[in-house]
């Protein structure tokens, strides 16, 4: 579902992503790990068609990103690090607005969102202004908006940052179900225990791939007992 060949992004003299090669399959939960500035978010933004690579190639959902970026955008769901919904609109109005971006009618958008609203116990908030909803539920709403159009590929950039443990469990339950249904989920996280839930992970350091593989394979290869130890060993480059 995702393939990159020598994907590179430079900002002036700074190389944010350096010749990155990836192959991510259907139904896979693929984790992006790395310290701040390692290149995770830049890579995700490139794969979402939000910024152009300096060089290299990428395919997303079987589409060449350079030639068919608009089709790629319609084939993915994206949840950014920062809350990006409209706080002066009601919850249902945000759902209708984001569904409309993918050419879904208002009722279709609400119908597709309903199972997630029920799962997150959010139906009571549908007529509330988003600015009045508790922060954890705003995160849940952002996830629902990324899923309403039923994309085959979903990018979640630090989706559980700043939410409580219950919300984190709910998020990962949804992520697991998405993968089981055949969707490809790319998730970046700073929580190393969450990395254990991924089928495979990429550890980035200074824009390069420091390691790729399943958590079990990588821990065994480097002789460590936890993802936290592995991260400290590889992400620092020491």
* Mean pLDDT, the chain, whole residue set: 94
The rounded distance, in Å, linking the Cα atoms of 205 and 18 is 10
pLDDT higher than threshold 90 for residue 6: yes
Q: What is the pLDDT of residues 21-67, one digit of tens each?
A: 999 999 999 999 999 889 999 999 999 999 999 999 999 999 999 99
Structure tokens at 167: 């919300």
| Whole-number pLDDT of residue 83 | 73
| Residues 2-60+82-235, CATH architecture | 3-Layer(aba) Sandwich (3.40)
Burial of 196 (0-12, 13-18, 19+ CB in 10 A): middle
Domain map (residue ranges) of the chain: 2-60+82-235
Q: Binning pLDDT at 50, 70 and 90, where does residue 84 land?
A: confident
83 or 228, higher pLDDT: 228
Question: 7-46 as b/e, with b when 16 or more CB fall inside 10 Å?
Answer: bbbeeeeebbbbebebebeeebbbbbbbbeebbbbbbbbb
In the three-class reduction of DSSP (H, G, I as helix; E, B as strand; rest coil), residue 18 is classed as strand
Q: What is the C-alpha separation between 85 and 143, in angstroms, rounded?
A: 11
Q: Give tens-digit pLDDT for 191-226.
A: 999 999 999 999 999 999 999 999 999 999 999 999
User: Which ranges in the chain belong to alpha helices (H)?
Assistant: 40-47, 69-74, 91-101, 106-119, 135-147, 165-180, 192-195, 215-222, 227-235
Percent of the residues in the chain that have a pLDDT greater than 70, as a whole number: 99
Place of tokens 């984790």: 31
Handedness of CA 41, 60, 187, 148 (dihedral sign): positive
- Model confidence at 167, pLDDT cuts 50, 70, 90, reads confident
Are 34 and 191 in contact by the 8 Å Cβ rule? The answer is no
Chain segment 174-186, per-residue pLDDT in tens: 999 999 999 999 9
């Amino acid at each position: 579902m995702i393939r990159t060949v020598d994907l590179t992004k430079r900002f002036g003299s700074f190389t944010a992503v350096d010749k990155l090669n990836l192959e991510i399959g259907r139904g896979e939960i693929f984790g992006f790990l790395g310290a701040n500035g390692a290149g995770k978010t830049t890579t995700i933004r490139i794969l979402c068609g939000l910024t152009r690579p300096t060089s290299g190639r990428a395919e997303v959902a079987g589409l060449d990103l350079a030639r068919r970026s608009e089709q790629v955008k319609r084939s993915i769901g994206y949840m950014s690090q920062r809350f990006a919904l409209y706080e002066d609109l009601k919850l249902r109005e945000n759902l209708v607005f984001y569904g409309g971006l993918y050419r879904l009618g208002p009722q279709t958008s609400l119908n597709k969102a309903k199972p997630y609203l029920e799962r997150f116990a959010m139906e009571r908030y549908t007529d509330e202004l988003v600015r009045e909803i508790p922060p954890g539920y705003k995160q849940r709403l952002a996830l629902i908006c990324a899923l309403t159009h039923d994309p085959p590929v979903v990018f979640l950039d630090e989706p559980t940052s700043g939410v409580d443990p219950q919300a984190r469990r709910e998020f990962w339950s949804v992520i697991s179900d998405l993968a089981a249904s055949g969707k490809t989920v790319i998730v970046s996280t700073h929580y190393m225990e969450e990395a254990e839930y991924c089928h495979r992970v990429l550890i980035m350091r200074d824009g390069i791939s420091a390691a790729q593989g399943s958590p079990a394979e990588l821990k065994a290869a480097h002789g460590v007992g936890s993802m936290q130890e592995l991260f400290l060993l590889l992400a620092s480059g020491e």
